[in-house]
Structure 1
Amino acid sequence: MPQYEVRNWLLHFLFLLSAGLGHEIFYITCLPCIHWNLDPFLCRRLVNMWTLVMYIGQVLKDVLKLPRPLSPPVVKLETRVEAEYGLPSTHAMAAIAISFTVLLSAPSRIQFRFEVGLLIAVMLSSLVCLSRLYTGMHSVLDVSCGALISAVLLLLTYPYWETFDHFQLTSRFSPVAAPLLLLFLGYTYPELDHYSTTRGDTVTILGACAGYSVGSWVNVQLGQTFEPQGTLPVPLPTLTPNALALGAGRFLVGVVALVGTRQIMKTGSLKMLYWWYRLPEKDDSAKRRKEIEVPYKFTTYTAVGLVHSILVNRVFMLLGLL
């Protein structure tokens, strides 16, 4: 990697932190907090749009096969996704989708000043987009195309959000159709002539969406959705010391549950698949094979989505954290 010198540590860490908003650790920790601490309705909308834009973005990358910026002259500060293609930037797509899905969905649920929400959405999505330029992982064209594609998808799908919500939560076909469709998309993901993390990351997202979709349907059937009670829109929660302590408790318990589920399911599914295909368990490269990678990641993150949506809130009730 070319040598570089950091001359502004504040901006350096700001952009590295912003780039982290598009990584798995953010999705598995911060996004569920919207469900646990704010409104499962918003989280469900968010997961649906996040899955749609990320799948389309990842597929476009591997169909168009346009390279990332050359290094040198740029300095690439991330190595895990270096083998992926560049256009469009899925970080930019996810940032736009997450920020503006919440902004468009929240007014009917929560009382807040729309202008302030718009400012926050623009600021967060801009920081993520700029971070991809700073880290050397994308060009201006990659980021611009990602932001534009995400904006178009939001515009095209917005009129149908309510209809999809109704089907997802009430149709008897929903808990079967969602996992089957998402698993099909994982298995039919475009093949490359070299290994890239795009397929695995995409299947991770598809699995999480499948689990959360089924879990949301189950909660409706059980008559316990954990959504805000009273006349909507409700006021924003007051940040009292007691509320902050409860939020911190929910975060810690929830993250332990999700990370534990991820580890147990990953280990168990890999052992079963290695046994089924008669592979040595020490062969780490086998995890990159389609017949191993797709089912183990889909199963693992479907379980994470189910635990997140069904089990964790009920644990909160038992522990007095609601």
Structure 2
Amino acid sequence: MCALHDSSEPRLDAGMKHHDHYARRLPPWRNALRNRLIPIVRSETPYLALLQDQLRTPALDSYFAFTANLGTHTFFMVMLPILFWNGYTSMGRAMVHMLAAGVYWSGFVKDMLCLPRPLSPPLYRITMSGSAALEYGFPSTHSTNAVSVAVYAIQILRSAPEQHHPYVYIALQMLFYFYAVSIVFGRLYCGMHGFFDVVVGSFLGAGIAIVQLMCGEALDVWVASGSYVNPLLLTIITLFLVRIHPEPADDCPCYDDSISFAGVVIGCQIGAFHYARTGYAIDLPIPSTVPFSLKALGLPTATARIVLGVVIIFVWRAAMKPALFKILPPIFRGLEHVRLNMPRVFFLSASKYTSIPPLQGDDNVIPPMSELPQMLKNLTHPRKRSVSLGPQSAADAYETLAYRNRRRRESINSQDSVILESAEWLPDWDDPKDLKPSLKPKDNKPLGVDLLPTPVSSRVHSYEHMMGTVSPEATSMTPLDSDAEFIADSDGSGTAPQEEENEKRQIFMKLEKPRARYDVEVITKLIVYGGIGWLAVEGNPLLFELCGLGMGLTGK
């Protein structure tokens, strides 16, 4: 493993490489497994496009773009501290464990297999998150998170049905079922994942919830009631898992999210261990629970606790990140000098830079406070930047090139293959409206509903033809084999390899250039998010007591 050489190095040069990009970057066994699974992604794409074509409406676009936020890291990280401060410590700890496991293991598999998302086109990508499409596709982290939360919540409800009115009991269960189905189906509708992605992600989430239900409470008691060795051992295991996270073949942010949640887990365990010994915590339902009574505190005080706690978390994040970016680089250079550093690909080593500029879009878990107004604006206008068409990441681009190359080889090897050229089956590439939801004014129906009274198989075939196309010129593919020096086209003319290189360059130049990533970001995220976990479990509850917003000593 080696760090990236220079921040000035043109990262888009990756587009000039041959289609064996993954064969050269991945160990043979990972590449072999990836090659066995790629056909699943490709075979699902035209059927997902058909699903979009049949179901898409402006209202559903807005709904699924909006509700996808309910399965993101940001949503859960804002809600989790509130659970701790309002006395729901058992649920809060369970959510931390499940979400950290879901983000880590789904990211682990994503970076290990490097499987792309379904191809766009023919799919339209509907998302309010600029970073979502930069990750690999398999498995779906949204599905993992949603299903784990739903399975856990439903089982908790069923374990004590007498605590709720029968109608409330049924309504809450239906709400969690609807939440999980809505998030999972929304990933298909939005063109962000295939059936294989969401099914495996859902099973992963269900498995994580089952483990939490079986072992979670015992783990919480073990950490809070034992000696300091217990949280220390859990911290070492967590750091070990971070260290063995696979290196991806492309610049994928999955590792960053795994680091962030690993930090939260570490902070929560340390905070729970110490807070249980402060005399402010209670032992029900589990040790280190923050005492809370809405009747005793009153609504204004309870609200003030939440507002103060959230502000403290954002202040901590805003202050610590720039401070650590100044403190850590000299330390990392010293470690690098004595060869004690542990570089990762796509992260610049400290010796390659002198300072770290202000980073934009460097956090998918808790954004800086300055970005909150824009995020709220996007929530109120979810369709303004929700729909995109074409490759959005390096993985997208490589898959587009690989699929295009495969189609060209098939057209050479089979004289019977038919290349569809009917423009009525393809979007109007010159019309900017077609880069938004594919709706025609007439009857407000999806593209092609009135134009295509054709069998489903023909429509699926038309979507297959659109796969691997990113421009008007690419919709009519010419036979071209990248391994040949010169191959005749169907019209008798020839296409040189240089033309294919230009084609690659054109695809990669359309991608947003990824920002430089620095080695100190790894430790920075662990410290910052470890601090957030500690603030949620111990720091802010102690501050509430000092500010007169707490319940007082418990007498322990």
Verify same fold: TM over 0.5. yes
Q: Give the whole-Å Cα distance in 2 for the aligned partners of 1:216 and 1:105.
A: 22
SS of residue in 1 equivalent to 2:137:
coil
The residue that corresponds to 2:131 in the other structure is: 80
2:288 is the alignment partner of 1:288: no
* 1:247 CA displacement: 4.1
1:188-231 CA-to-partner distances (Å, cap 9, x unmatched) read 211122211100011001101110111111111223336769xx
Separation in structure 2 between the aligned mates of residue 41 and residue 57 of structure 1, nearest angstrom:
24
Match of 2:471 in 1: none
What is the distance in 2 between the residues matched to 1:27 and 1:287?
A: 27
Cα distance in 2 between the residues matched to 1:109 and 1:169: 29
1:57/1:93 contact within 8 Å kept = yes
- 2:277 alignment counterpart: 221
More helix by share: 1
Greater relative contact order (Cα < 8 A, sep 6+)? 2
Name the CA shift for 1:25/1:152 in 2 (closer, same or farther; >3 Å): closer
Shift of 1:299: 1.0
8 Å Cα contact 1:39/1:227 also seen in 2 = no
Cα gap change, 1:162 to 1:227, in 2 (>3 Å): closer
Task: Tell me the residue number matched to 2:163.
Answer: 111
Q: Does 2:42 align with 1:20? A: no
Partner Cα separation in structure 2 for residue 164 and residue 66 of structure 1: 34
Contact 1:226 1:313 in 2 (8 A): no
Equivalent of residue 312 in structure 1, options 540, 546, 549? 540
For 2:189, give the aligned amino acid: Y
Give 2:116's match in structure 1, choosing from 39, 48, 67.
67
The separation in 1 between residues aligned to 2:230 and 2:94, in whole angstroms, is 15
Contact 2:83/2:89, CA 8 A, preserved across alignment = yes
Deviations 1:231-283 (A, max 9, x none): xxxxx9889xx53x444323211111111111222122222222333532245
State the alpha-carbon separation in 2 of the partners of residues 74 and 180 from structure 1. 43
Structure 1 residue 187 corresponds to structure 2 residue 239:
no
Do residues 158 (structure 1) and 237 (structure 2) align?
no
- Shift in alpha-carbon separation, 1:99–1:261, aligned structure 2, 3 A: farther
Alpha-carbon displacement from aligned partner over 1:61-119 (angstroms, at most 9, x marks no partner): 11222211111112223431323111110111011122333443465699335433322
Between stretches 206-215 and 146-155, larger displacement belongs to 146-155
Which amino acid is the alignment partner of residue 14 of structure 1?
Y
Instruction: Measure, in 1, the Cα distance between the counterparts of 2:271 and 2:516.
Output: 27
Q: 2 CA distance for matches of 1:271 and 1:246?
A: 38
Instruction: Give yes or no for contact 1:286–1:292 (8 Å, CA) kept in 2.
Output: no
SS in 1 for 2:134: coil
Conserved? CA contact 1:207–1:305, under 8 Å? yes
Partner of 2:91: 42
Q: Is the 8 A contact 1:178 1:214 kept in 2?
A: no
2:116·2:137 contact (CA, 8 Å) conserved in 1? Answer: yes
* Residues 299-318 of structure 1: CA deviation (Å, up to 9, x unaligned): 11001111111121222334
The correspondence for 2:192, drawn from 117, 137, 143, is: 137
- Structure 2 residue ranges without an equivalent (≥5): 1-52, 286-291, 332-349, 360-513, 551-556
2:111–2:248 CA contact under 8 A, matched in 1:
yes
Contact 2:137–2:197 (CA under 8 A) maintained in structure 1: yes
Equivalent in the alignment of 1:200: 256
Change (3 A) 1:301 1:109: farther
For 1:52, the equivalent position in structure 2 comes to: 101
AA in 1 matched with 2:163:
Q
Moved more, 110-119 or 253-262: 110-119
Q: In percent, how many aligned pairs have the same letter?
A: 25
Match for residue 232 of structure 1?
A: none
Q: SS of the residue aligned with 2:119?
A: coil
Q: Are positions 1:275 and 2:330 aligned together? A: yes
Q: TM-score, normalised by structure 2?
A: 0.51
CA distance in structure 2 between the partners assigned to 1:258 and 1:108 by the alignment: 34
- The aligned counterpart of 2:7 is none
Matched, 1:256 2:308: no
User: Which has the greater radius of gyration?
Assistant: 2
Q: Which amino acid aligns with 1:148?
A: F
> Aligned partners of 1:103, 1:35: CA distance in 2, in Å?
20
Task: After superposing the two structures, state which structure 1 stretch, 65-74 or 102-111, moved more.
Answer: 102-111
Cα distance change of structure 1 residues 258 and 197 upon mapping to structure 2, 3 Å threshold: same
